[in-house]
């Protein structure tokens, strides 16, 4: 048996010296192995040639099985590695990523669920954020950091000193500046590869439709029910998915509303405004500073999943987070047949991500 193994090693070395292709060297070794196994199976015991090749086929079969297992493992590893490597990006494509962007978004691109294709979808996406306050601050920063190509932000408020306890996108020197311009400055400083569209005005019913038509996804971080209902109705009318978050004191909630894909709209879940005093604004009830960061970053996580098609989102589910007791729970949310906002909307199949 030792002589045969030596002969196999000699054939491999000779092939390497002659620069024979790897496949040719493997074929030579395989043919020799097959000849040895066949010799030990066909020739009778005591035959000289069988004795020279070990005299017993079982060690050769064990050796062959071990080599086959090793080869199969290597093939599996290579396939898994190929699946994890992002697809090549075409530099000539309009949504291609420059070298600096490839480095910036490398931790996204190596994720199998996102990859190069998902990062290109983020770059091509247009997301509108309503509100640049507590929730809007982390939302805008993380959308910018994630490489969302076009980010709109609408808010008519100005930065106030009382905002800075939680609205981390703004700085002390920006007090008195319109929030949308303060946010634009911070976002562009964080990522020069994005486009920021600031709208320093209040969202109005007569202009919401035209504004929403320019975007693929709407994120609502406002702090009053009148604006939330307005945002919801405009999103439903435009057929755009809406990710809406809300916070008060120690608690927050988030869901993705999109009747066109079978999910409820905001009014399905909250058909009536709460009674006075039941849902006071943060200025009245207070809010713990990090809570907007918790809910706001969850909103961006859901936005990234919605844009790239990764994972399971909160479509038709309401996530409620209790920061005081460190608990989160998810409850099912369904459409209401008598909803005043979306009852007439016909659900269509969700688009397939390619």
Tens digit of each residue's pLDDT (9 = 90 or more) over 247-256: 999 999 999 9
Residue 350 has pLDDT above 70, yes or no: no
Tokens 């909250």, residue?
270
Number of independent structural domains in the chain: 2
* The domain boundary residue, chosen from 24, 59, 84: 84
Domain annotation covers residue 180 = yes
Query: Are 167 and 76 part of one and the same domain?
Result: no
Domain annotation covers residue 217 = yes
Query: Are 77 and 136 part of one and the same domain?
Result: no
Domain annotation covers residue 34 = yes
Tokens 């207070």, residue?
286
Say which CATH number the domain at 136 has. Answer: 3.40.50.720
For residue 86, give the nearest of 96, 76, 77, 73 by alpha carbon.
96
| Residue 35 or 298, more confident | 298
The reply to whether the predicted model has a pTM over 0.75 is no
Q: What percent of the chain has pLDDT over 70?
A: 85
What residues make up the domain containing 73? 2-84
State the pLDDT at residue 344. Answer: 84
CA distance 309 to 326: 29
Confidence class for position 67, pLDDT limits 50, 70, 90: confident
State the pLDDT at residue 252. Answer: 96
Query: Are 196 and 305 part of one and the same domain?
Result: yes
State the pLDDT at residue 228. Answer: 95
Could you report the per-residue pLDDT of 258-287, keeping only the tens digit for each? 999 999 999 999 998 877 766 667 777 899
Query: Are 225 and 290 part of one and the same domain?
Result: yes
Could you report the per-residue pLDDT of 178-211, keeping only the tens digit for each? 999 999 999 999 999 999 999 999 999 999 999 9
Residue 95 has pLDDT above 90, yes or no: no
Domain annotation covers residue 129 = yes
Confidence class for position 290, pLDDT limits 50, 70, 90: very high
Residue 86 has pLDDT above 70, yes or no: no
Phi-psi region of 322 (alpha: psi -120 to 50; beta: other; left: phi over 0): beta
Q: State the Cα angle at 350 between 348 and 354, rounded to 5°.
A: 140
Query: Are 316 and 220 part of one and the same domain?
Result: yes
């Amino acid at each position: 048996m030792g002589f045969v193994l030596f002969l196999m090693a000699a054939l491999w070395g000779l092939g390497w010296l002659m620069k024979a292709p790897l496949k040719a060297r493997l074929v030579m070794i395989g043919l020799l192995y097959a000849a040895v196994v066949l010799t030990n199976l066909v020739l009778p015991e005591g035959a000289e040639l069988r004795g020279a090749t070990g005299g017993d086929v079982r060690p050769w079969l064990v050796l062959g099985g071990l080599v086959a297992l090793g080869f199969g493992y290597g093939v599996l590893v290579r396939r898994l590695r190929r699946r994890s490597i992002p697809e090549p990006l075409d530099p000539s494509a309009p949504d291609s990523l420059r070298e600096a962007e490839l480095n910036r978004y490398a931790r996204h691109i190596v994720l199998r669920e996102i990859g190069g294709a998902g990062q290109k979808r983020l770059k091509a996406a247009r997301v509108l954020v309503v509100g640049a306050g507590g929730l809007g601050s982390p939302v805008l920063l993380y959308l910018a950091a994630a490489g969302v190509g076009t980010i709109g932000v609408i808010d008519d408020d100005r930065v106030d000193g009382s905002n800075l306890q939680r609205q981390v996108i703004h700085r002390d020197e920006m007090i008195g500046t319109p929030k949308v311009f303060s946010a634009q400055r911070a976002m562009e400083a964080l990522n020069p590869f994005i486009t920021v569209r600031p709208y320093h005005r209040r969202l109005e019913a007569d202009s919401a439709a035209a504004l929403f038509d320019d975007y693929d996804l709407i994120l609502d971080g406002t702090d009053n029910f009148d604006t939330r209902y307005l945002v919801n109705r405009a999103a439903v009318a435009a057929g755009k998915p809406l990710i809406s978050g809300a916070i008060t004191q120690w608690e927050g909630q988030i869901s993705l509303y999109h009747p066109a894909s079978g999910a409820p709209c905001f009014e399905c879940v909250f058909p009536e405004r709460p009674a006075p005093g039941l849902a006071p604004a943060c200025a009245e009830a207070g809010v713990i500073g990090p809570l907007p960061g918790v809910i706001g970053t969850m909103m961006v996580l859901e936005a990234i999943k919605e844009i790239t098609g990764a994972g399971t989102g909160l479509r038709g589910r309401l996530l409620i987070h209790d920061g005081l007791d460190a608990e989160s729970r998810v409850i099912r949310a369904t459409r209401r047949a008598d909803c005043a906002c979306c009852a007439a909307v016909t659900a269509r199949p969700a688009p397939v991500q390619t």
